[in-house]
Amino acid sequence: MVPNGPSRTDFSRSCQLSSNHLLQFKQVYILDEVRAVEKELLLPTKRLGLNIKPQILVVHSSYSNG
């Protein structure tokens, strides 16, 4: 007897979960990169005597064609 493998529904759900996990990873990675850039901008602004804290705004827009 051959055991039943995962159903299409199981596979689809697994892909969706993987996709969500990947999206979360990308979001964390981008935010870490933004923080690093903000830190890199902080030193030159201090050297110039500017009393500002660089803040980068990340805007996400999803575009759906259909």
Contacts of 37 (CB under 8 A, 6+ apart): 54, 56
* Closest among 44, 64, 66 to 54, alpha carbons compared: 44
Residue 25 lies in a domain: yes
pLDDT digits (tens, 9 = 90+) for 4-55: 555 556 656 656 656 677 777 777 888 889 999 999 999 899 999 999 888 8
Would 52 be classed as within a structural domain? yes
Whole-number Cα distances in Å, 43 to 31, 33, 57: 19, 17, 19
Number of domains in the chain: 1
Domain that holds residue 63: 8-66
Residue 3 lies inside a defined structural domain of this protein: no
The answer to whether residues 34 and 56 touch, using CB atoms and an 8 Å cutoff, is yes
Classify residue 63: in a domain, yes or no: yes
Residue 1 included in any domain: no
Q: Is residue 2 in some structural domain?
A: no
